[in-house]
Amino acid sequence: MKMTKLALVCATVFGVAAGAHAGGDRHHHGHGMDVVPADQKNNAYWQQGVEALKEKYPALRGAKNVILFVGDGMGVSTVTAARILEGQLKGMLGEENDLSFDTFPYTAMMKTYNVDAQTPDSAGTMTAMMSGVKTDVGVIGVDEDIVRGDCATVAGNELITALELAEIAGKSTGVLSTARITHATPAATYAKSADRNWEDISDQPASAQGECEDIASQLVNFESNLKARFPRASKVNGIEVVMGGGRRHFLPKDAAFNSPDAVSAVEGDRTDGRDLTAEWKAAYPNGVYVYDQVGFDSIDPATTERVFGLFNESHMQYEADRANDIAGEPSLSEMTDKAIDILDNNRKGFFLMVESGRIDHGHHAGNAHAALTDTIEFAKAVKVAVENTNPKDTLILVTADHSHVFTIAGYPKRGNPILGKVVSVGSDTPALAADGMPYTTVGYMNGMGFADLGDETDADAIYSGTPNAGRQDLTGVDTTAPGYHQETLVPLGSETHAGEDVVLYGKGMGSHLVGGTNEQSYVFHVMNAAGRLEKAAARGMR
């Protein structure tokens, strides 16, 4: 029996009210506190989140601004290794270093499983964080009653997100990602989809085309779609700041629509002939559409009302590539700085989600260098947010959606290069395993395995062919080079996610709600309670 069907029983056990109009029409909105669908409030994960809040602190003075940082795939071992690498890049031994969010006063552990999966994906985990309700693998913004890939099951199973509540409340909103802006994590802030892969119409089966709106179209039509669901939400005016990759999902499959920096003969993927960038510009004539560093740098936050930035056909470059000036793209910290400067023009405050999406991709490629350097840039973006907001009116949360099968092992001495071979205490030469070969401190449980690509910084530029698993003789290999891909045990075409808990870090107004071990859906409830999002949204519909 699904969790939604157990909700009323669980509500009784928890001693929590089932929510407004329980059992009634879940799409009846606009009266009092009835902003969140009854089924969403009746869901057992929602009930658990409410009860967890009651056990911690019963009341809060509301945070004006809420910022959620998501390091995609940033498990505990990734945080530890990135902390050490950043310290060593500063000339320190490394272990004593702190990433910006390591110093946050409150932390908690979050259970990442999906309703139907022990080891999760980003669609289900981010939906949980944004809605307060856990759901299945591969679906976005909908509850577990959905059937993945079945367009007809979306209606009636939509969830409202923290970003949507902020919109209804009249706050400014923003979504940033180094991945495609239509990818699972950013999409879960604004879209409802039976499949995370339906990024544009060309990705959908014929049965869904024209029946279920693709994710890119939902982003451009976000304002009208939200107003259609909540006709009395007069303060909704669309997402003010959207920046990331994924330009191909917004352009027709026609070379005539290529951006000036297009790297392929036909940049767009859309088979419906729509140019969504033109549709966005028509809907928001005072907005600014940009696609490169020059355009980004020209934005004046003091006078800019909204920004739509698509800086790459697909995902944005890894930080290691961007730092080599080959991409012409802003960094995550630059995007964060600009977004806050624009969003804080609203006296009612803002909600901002910032994702470092390529941490995840570096790990999938089995390339620790890419994953860790992107984590370091992610920490810089958090630092920018801390420096540009007031903790007395802003809640900042930092977490991951899931972890990876990435580990730190062996017995290296203090200060040993975290990407290097293990050198034991009291020695100056690499330690040898029982097979007589040296081994590295960090490695992966599964994936493509060993590759030595030297100074190649693009983690995706891996060797072709079958996975290269098992032990390799690394005697003459520089394992600290950007192009080194770590050894792996189990041969797979791509390294996988892991299922252990991730950490939630909190700072600022309401961050004292962060603590203990929680369902991942609790992240929403912290944001909702600290920012009084649901209450403010209810006022926005009067």
Could you list the beta-strand ranges (E) of 317-427: 350-356, 394-399, 403-404, 406-408
Q: What is the percent of the chain where pLDDT is above 70?
A: 91
pLDDT of residue 433: 97
CA dihedral 459, 461, 269, 152 (to 10 degrees): -60
pLDDT of residue 2: 45
pLDDT of residue 9: 30
Is the per-residue pLDDT at 24 higher than 60?
Answer: no
CA distances from 365 to 76, 400, 450, 452 (A): 19, 18, 10, 13
The answer to whether 529 touches 513, Cβ cutoff 8 Å, is yes
User: What confidence category does residue 417 fall into, taking pLDDT thresholds of 50, 70 and 90?
Assistant: very high
The answer to whether 182 touches 222, Cβ cutoff 8 Å, is no
- φ and ψ of 99, to 5 deg: -70, 160
- Report angle CA 490, 81, 104 to the nearest 5 degrees: 130
Residue-range domain boundaries for the chain: 65-405+497-539, 411-495
Q: What is the pLDDT of residues 233-270, one digit of tens each?
A: 999 999 999 999 999 999 999 888 776 665 566 689 99
Range 526-530 average pLDDT: 96
- Report angle CA 359, 365, 370 to the nearest 5 degrees: 45
User: What confidence category does residue 232 fall into, taking pLDDT thresholds of 50, 70 and 90?
Assistant: very high
What does 44-59 look like in DSSP terms, one character per residue? Answer: HHHHHHHHHHHHH-S-
C-alpha 164/C-alpha 236 separation (Å) is 9
Structure tokens at 253: 């499959």
Q: With CA atoms as reference, report the closest residue to 184 among 108, 129, 221, 228.
A: 129
- φ and ψ of 513, to 5 deg: -75, -10
User: What confidence category does residue 104 fall into, taking pLDDT thresholds of 50, 70 and 90?
Assistant: very high
Buried residues in 516-540 as b, exposed as e (16+ CB within 10 A):
eebbbbbbbbbbbbbbbbbbbbbeb
Calculate the average pLDDT of the chain: 91
What does 447-470 look like in DSSP terms, one character per residue? Answer: ESB-EE-TT---TT-PPPSS-B-S
CA distances from 180 to 175, 239, 272, 312 (A): 11, 16, 20, 8
CB atoms within 10 A of CB 23: 11
Q: What is the pLDDT of residues 126-139, one digit of tens each?
A: 999 999 999 999 99
Structure tokens at 119: 């080891």
Is the per-residue pLDDT at 371 higher than 50?
Answer: yes
Buried residues in 254-287 as b, exposed as e (16+ CB within 10 A):
eeebbbeebeeeebbbbeeebbbbeebeeebeeb
Residues 6+ apart with CB under 8 A from 459: 318, 320, 361, 362, 365, 367, 369, 370, 371, 485
Q: What is the pLDDT of residues 450-466, one digit of tens each?
A: 999 999 999 998 877 89
C-alpha 221/C-alpha 280 separation (Å) is 8
β-pairing, 406-408 with 442-447? Answer: antiparallel
Segment among 6-20, 67-81, 468-482, 517-531 with least mean pLDDT:
6-20
Catalytic-residue membership of 122: yes
Span 65-405+497-539: which CATH code? Answer: 3.40.720.10
C-alpha 314/C-alpha 249 separation (Å) is 8
CA distances from 119 to 125, 258, 401, 465 (A): 10, 39, 11, 27
Candidates 100, 122, 259, 331; catalytic one: 122
